[in-house]
Amino acid sequence: MIAETGHYALILALAVAIVQTVLPLWGTRTRDPQLTAIAVPAAQVQFLLIAVSFAALMTAYVTSDFSLENVWANSHSAKPLIYKIAGVWGNHEGSMVLWVLILALFGAAVATFGSNLPDELQANVLAVQGSIAAAFLLFIVTTSNPFIRLDPAPLDGQGLNPVLQDPALAFHPPFLYTGYVGFSMAFSFAVAALIDGRIDAAWARWVRPWTLAAWMCLTLGIAMGSWWAYYELGWGGFWFWDPVENASFMPWLAGTALLHSALVMEKRDALKVWTILLAIITFSLSLMGTFLVRSGVLTSVHAFAVDPARGIFILAIMGTFIGGALTLFAIRAPLLAQGGLFAPISREGSLVVNNLLLTTACAAVFVGTLYPLALESLTGEKISVGPPFFNFTFVPLIVPLLVAVPFGPMLAWKRGDLVAAWQRLTAAAALSLLAMVLVLGFQQRGPWLAPFGIGLGIWLIFGALSEIAFRVKLLDGSLGEAWRRLGKLPRSAYGTALAHAGLGIVMIGIVATTAWRSESILALKPKGTTEIAGYQVTFEGVTPREGPNYRERVGVFQVMRGGEEVTTLEPSKREYTVERSSTTEAGIHASWRGDLYAVLGDQLKDGAYSVRLYFNPLVRFIWLGAVVMFIGGALSLSDRRLRIGAPKRAKALGQNLAAAK
Amino acid sequence: MSVNRHKSHFGYMLLGALLMLMLVTNLAKAVEPDEILQDKALEARARHISEGLRCLVCQNQSIDDSAAPLAKDLRVLVRERLKAGDTDQQIEDFVVARYGEFVLLKPRFEPHTFLLWFATPVVFIIALLIVAFAYRRRSAVPTTAALSDAEELRLRHLLEDR
């Protein structure tokens, strides 16, 4: 009964989404306020219905209702509760329901908190949002229905892919999806503006918080995915340039560009056409990511099942929305007036450079990800595009961008002074140079580019701090005065500085762990000792252990450093009984210096075990940096000027202007 | 319900195949102790070559990172060829002749990949041209002078006072 309620709610949500699309659009065309007004309650009801549906599915998972095919195929009664809950989106059907749930949540948020938006804009935005929801709800109901019953109901389920049975499953997909789907807001706003044929600086002010929220979640989602791969895949890699990773990285790159161009639009009324196009591109890339991952074009841990009908359906959705939006753009964009002139050396100019490099870098990832697919479908030739390609094309674009980052906030709007900006950054440059020299001096091995990379990280961090120092006039007046100004600085200034510094932290982590990681692959007998990166590691032997739904053999490793006991590492090999499949769990000792990472291999003929030990210096900085970027975004989002109520004044101003004309 | 049952049977098979795949790809990882060559220089070359070769049965993993039996075979093969005195290029050619270009993580620079390799620089140059063109065009168009900051502030005060 609960499942049927969920099923019914899902179909009802589809109907509501269609209403939400058609009537408000009709209303804004015919200037019928009653039809226009339907958008708001429709978006709220649609969210409630999908929430009911999602709750019904979760109930089925938690209560292990194996009469549902979806639950039977992806769950098991012995599975720990957290994986019963998170397992809802650990499969294709459930993850699509989560997708539309988040989509509807954003729509409902605009409906509920967007009362300060002009009514027509709000109605158009919700109509576009409703059309996306309708397409995906139709997709779920027709090809990916999680509420199909089995009769008779099996006694127990098939279990969940053990690789997915990890606490990260509870967080990685929701954050990633919030990021992906959140960009739909920017898309809907862009299309709504194109339908209206007009756009102003206030538009950017409404779009920016949504884009920022989506960007934050995507940043964290990608970082969590990388961390998950790092400890789960068993050899300490954190980024693979895998098509599935690229699928999430492309919207991130485009979304980052969008955040910056929307800033120019809000403050200076420039780059309007480009910002609109970028909003469309960003969400198109999110849709493409969904297509790549969900269609089965790529087989990976993420492609839960392969069904060509689904692929074609998502392809059709993608084609309709991207094609439609771009056509609308081609027709309407010439109508949008340009404003705000600026000199090449200016804050705007620096943000243009940011957009130029980010979008080209995104294009590099795009080509590298899709070229093998295109080549194979056209000529049948199979090639692989792996990390070397991306190092060759992506990195040369990103490095100059990172060098330029600290300059941007130091330049004034309209016309900046590069020499003055450079003078304000002297301290950061000196520190960065010092770091380079020090690293070069101490570096015993590793590529000659590594010191440069560390220097770049330091440059980013201290460049960001320099901006704060400059804004509080740290060097011009008394310290007390500077301290007082520090409190008065808008939060968005701290947000920018933190996000840029976070980038530097990520940079240092990537460079250090790539350049100076040590590894030791050896056969160890019990009580055997080895040494890596200053740690003495003693292999105590292997003991069996029982988990809730697995058995594991645990290798016990005593770790000493300078004669003192540090920790005991327990890497293991798990045997999941229900799924009849196994995973390797790494044993990791984390510290500021880096991670000691141990993997237990197979038993060899003479009683020894194959053991893999790695030391990954500063690897935590990668994820720490991402968290700092997230916090930066959150601070910026909490800024009074971006807060939901704030645009009210802008609207009032606009109305006053209109009245004054 | 017969249709459903048929579908679920198919799903079961798919799931089984998927789990088999997971089994293959998630066992112990990468280079085994017994594969490592005594000669450190040769071993370093072997690792370098292995990092550029794709494990054919895995997802985007190099044979250096993969634990699949096929990856192990390839690693051993690379080391055998090294011991026989082949150059890196000879080994690459040998592996490509056997498994096709799919095995290379870095695609070769040949007519069918020109588009791949040139795409990024071409996009960059086009983007640069667009920026330059847009800037020149906009500078040429006379627009009404924007309000100065002081004027804008005054306007805001005036409007807010109303």
User: Are A657 and B159 a contacting pair at CB < 8 A?
Assistant: yes
A649 pLDDT higher than 60: no
C-beta atoms of A150 and B5 within 8 A: yes
Report the residue of B18, B120, B141, B151 to disrupt the A interface, i.e. the one with the largest count of A CBs within 10 Å.
B120
Give the number of other Cβ atoms within 10 Å of residue A595's Cβ.
22
Mean pLDDT of chain A: 88
Whether CATH 3.90.25 fits A518-618: no
Compute the distance between CA of residue A133 and CA of residue A96 in angstroms, rounded to an integer.
11
Say whether A594 sits in a helix, a strand or coil: strand
Distance CA A281, CA B89 (A): 41
Could you count the other beta carbons within 10 Å of the beta carbon of residue B44? Answer: 11
pLDDT grade, residue A653 (50/70/90)? very low
| B97 shares contact with chain A (CB less than 8 Å) | no
- β-bridge mates for residue A148, sequence order: none
Read off the pLDDT of each residue in A630-655 and give the average, rounded to a whole number. Answer: 65
Quick one: pLDDT at residue A298?
65
| Rounded CA separation A100/A315 (Å) | 17
With 60 as the cut, is the pLDDT of residue B14 above it?
no
Closest Cβ opposite residue A389 in set B1, B107, B160? B107
User: What are the Cα distances from residue B6, in Å, to A139, A145, A356, A362?
Assistant: 21, 16, 52, 43
Q: Mean of the pLDDT values across residues A604-627? A: 91
Work out the minimum CA distance from B126 to partner chain A, whole angstroms.
10
Enter the DSSP assignment of A79: S
Q: H or E stretch including A550?
A: strand A550-561
Rounded to two decimals, the ipTM of the complex is 0.84
Of the candidates A298, A367, A602, which has its C-beta nearest B120's C-beta? A367
Confidence of residue A306 (pLDDT cuts 50, 70, 90): low
* Contact at CB, A521 and B31, closer than 8 angstroms: yes
Q: CB–CB of A384 and B30 under 8 A?
A: no
The larger pLDDT score, comparing residue A648 to residue A34, is at A34
CA of B86 vs chain A CAs: smallest distance (Å): 23
Whether the CB of B34 is below 8 Å from some CB of chain A: the reply is yes
**Chain-chain contact of A151 with B139 (C-beta, under 8 angstroms):** no
How many residues does the structure list for chain A? 661
pLDDT tens track for A258-305: 999 998 888 888 888 899 999 999 999 999 988 888 776 665 545 544
CA distances from A386 to A239, A246, B60, B105 (A): 11, 11, 7, 4
pLDDT of residue A506: 96
The confidence band for B8, taking pLDDT boundaries of 50, 70 and 90, is very low
- B56, closest residue in chain A (CA to CA): A384
pLDDT of residue B161: 63
Residue of B nearest to A337 (CA): B143
Name every chain B residue with its beta carbon within 8 A of the beta carbon of A301.
22, 59
Predicted local distance difference test score (pLDDT) of residue B54: 87
Q: Which of A381, A384, A397 sits opposite B104 (nearest CB)?
A: A384
B16 in contact with chain A, both atoms CB, cutoff 8 A: no
Higher pLDDT, A100 or B67: A100
Q: Specify the higher pLDDT residue, A308 or A190.
A: A190
- The mean-pLDDT minimum among A153-167, A205-219, A469-483 falls in A469-483
pLDDT score recorded for residue A642: 55
Give per-residue pLDDT as tens, A323-335: 999 999 998 888 7
> What integer is the mean pLDDT of B132-157?
70
pLDDT reported for residue B147: 66
In chain A, % of residues over pLDDT 90: 53
- Smallest CA–CA distance, residue A486 to chain B, in Å, is 24
Which residues on A lie below 8 Å from B119 (Cβ)?
Answer: 363-364, 367, 371
- CATH of region B2-106, choose from 3.30.70.380, 3.30.9.30, 3.40.50.10860, 1.10.8.640: 1.10.8.640
Is A294 or B147 the better-scoring residue by pLDDT? Answer: A294
The answer to whether the Cβ–Cβ distance between A389 and B146 falls below 8 Å is: no
Distance CA A66, CA A74 (A): 10
Coil, strand or helix at A451? helix
Q: Which chain B residues are closer than 8 Å to A368 by Cβ? A: 116
* Model pLDDT for residues A547-600, shown as the tens digit of each residue: 888 999 999 999 999 889 999 999 998 888 888 888 888 999 998 899 999 988
List chain B residues with CB under 8 Å of A581.
19, 22-23, 26
B residues 61-80 near A, CB within 8 Å? 61-62, 65
DSSP letter at B62 equals B
Taking residues B48-58, report their average pLDDT.
84
Sheet holding A594-603, edge to edge: A518-524, A609-617, A594-603, A587-590
Our CA-based measurement puts residue A114 at a distance from the nearest CA of chain B, in whole angstroms, of: 22
Q: Closest Cα to residue A204, out of A78, A315, A351?
A: A351
Pairwise CB contact (< 8 Å): A243 & B11: no
Q: For A432-453, what is the mean pLDDT?
A: 86
Q: Which residue ranges does chain A devote to CATH 2.60.98?
A: 518-618
Judged against a pLDDT cut of 80, whether residue B151 lies above it is answered with no
Give the model's confidence band at B140: pLDDT under 50 very low, under 70 low, under 90 confident, else very high: low
Closest residue on chain B to A659 (Cα)? B159
The reported pLDDT for the residue numbered A19 is 96
pLDDT of A661 higher than 70 = no
pLDDT in tens, A500-551: 999 999 999 999 998 888 888 888 999 999 999 889 999 999 999 998 889 9
Question: What's the mean pLDDT in A453-482?
Answer: 87
pLDDT at B5 over 50: no
CA of A242: which chain B residue's CA is closest? B60
